Every structure is written in C-alpha cells, then in structure tokens.
Structure 1
Amino acid sequence: MLNAEYLLRSFAAFATERGQSHVHTQTATDWAARGPSVAQRDARLKAVCRFVRHVRVEDARHELPPVNHFGARKTRRSPHIYPAAEIDRLIEAALRLRPKGGLRSRTYATLIALLSVTGLRISEALKLTVADVTRDGLLIRETKFRKTRLVPLHDTAVAGLNGDLAHRRPLFRD
C-alpha cells in the first residue's frame, strides 16, 4: 500500500470517529499532529491537502487546511566542492591504505579519481565492471532513473583507468 493511501485511510478513520464525512481543517490538523515528528506531521497534513484539492472540485464543503501549518522545511546541506589539491590528498591517502600490495588502496584511489572527473553518483561508480569501460567512455547501467547512459572520458581519465586495469589483470583468473 502506498504511503499516501495509508495516510488517507488513517485520516478517514479518524474523521469518521468524529462523525465527519467532509474534511475539516481542525480535524486534519488534529490528526496530523499525532505524527511523532515535525516532518511526519507535515507529511500527514500535506497528504490530506493534496486529496482536498481534488475533491473540492466536486464538493466545496471540504476545507483546505493550511499546507505549512507545522512549519516543516526541507533543507539540504550545501554541497562541498572539492578543490583539486584536496582530491589529490584524498587519492594519496587512499594509496597509503594497508595492506600494501593489495587492491584496496588502488581501488579507493581509482574510485575517488573517477568520481572527481566524471560526476558519477557513488552508486553508479560502485556498479561499474571492466566491461563497462569502452572506447567511447563509461557505460553506466541502471542509473537513478533506471536508464543506461554513456559518460565520455577525457584521454587522461582513460589513461588512468587503463593503468589501473593493467595493474589488476595479472590478478584475474582465466
């Protein structure tokens, strides 16, 4: 069951207990206030508001509650843009990871470098396989929106990936 469907069923049961067959602002805010956090109270009230916008077309007796009654605001942290020197320090630190001679340090260094030059999401980079490295760039399968795309690479990025693959090939089993 979808979250909106679950919420609206819960609200309908709450309003029915009060003997109401139409949405009333006070009932909607009372029901939404039962949410355990400001964000959840806000989500509950917004679900009712979306519903009311549709049903008011046919029956104006439904009241539209105030959308931001609980004052919840979604905020995102500002992204941190890594300067080149900081990326270089991260790669150097990754190459110092123990155990020496294993693939872990080179894997992390390559991952950091790849993320810094391609703009890939971490989930996309982690799903890459050797077969995804093509002459035309990186083949990204199942992106955030379940699509496939080709990410072109600069010659220096291709050289870096080829160097990393050359280091790994002796470790592959035939």
Structure 2
Amino acid sequence: MANTDIITTAREIHTTEQQIADARTARNRTDIARLNRQHRKLTATLQQMTIAALNNGADAGTLRAQVWAALDGKATTPADLEQVIVDTIHQLAAEPDAWVSLTRLRAALPTTHNRDAVDTALRNLDRKRAVDIAPEDNMRMMTEADHAAALRHGGQDRHLIATC
C-alpha cells in the first residue's frame, strides 16, 4: 500500500479526534459513540497499512516523519509529543527498559518539533515517572554530539533515557 494511503488515513484519524473533542464539549453521546467506533476502525486500518508497508521495506522513521508532516508537522498536544517520544524510545531500545542515548533519540524524532518543546516533554515524562533520564557515567566516551543532545535537568546534564 502506498504511503499516501497511510498519510490520508492518519489525517482522517486526526480529524476524527477533533470531532470527538467537539462532541465531548457539546456532550453529544450519540456522536461520541459513533465517532469512537469510526476512530477504532481507522486506527486498525492504519496499523494494518503500516505493518504492510514495513513488511514491504518501508523505513519506519521515514514513514513516521511523513505522517507527522501530513498532520501539519506537529503533535497536536504536549501529550501527543510525549507519546511520540515514548514510542521512539521503545523502537530504539534493544530490549524493554534498556537505556537509549538522547543523541539517538533526538535524531530519531521528527524534526518538526523544536528543542524546547522536546525538552519540556522529556521533563514532563520524567516528572510523571514515565521515563528515567540519567547522566552518562563514563564521560570520556562522550562525543560532542552527546554533549549537545544532553538535557539539563535537576542541575545536571543527562544523556540517557529509558522507559519505566
């Protein structure tokens, strides 16, 4: 399946999410139920299309970047960006709860988010105990890129992240 189908479906999901939010504001239970069913179907379709594309050799990072670009290049809420970060950590980690360098994480994230937004999301995830962010113990092994990617948090530079 073409990446354009995936992008179109992602846009439909985004539109449906906005409609669900509007229906919740209006307290229209009938529309909320209908839109939730539609959202589940679209999400399942997107998952199937994405798996098929990946099985046919599509690059996961490119696919993710194309979808985010189609959605105006930004996560719609800080919680969306936090989810993108957690999902990216899971993709990069060699095993569950494994440490990932912030250098690798930042390189894998869509480039549409500025550094401040990503740093704020990382701090929020740390405060929520969704991730652990730690300094690198072996400073001699660090590159210039590692120092540049560090997150200043709690009075020290932190270079590694893992999900909790």
TM-score, scaled relative to structure 2: 0.28
TM-score, scaled relative to structure 1: 0.27
Q: Whose helix proportion is higher, 1 or 2?
A: 2
Structure with bigger RCO (C-alpha 8 Å, 6+ apart): 2
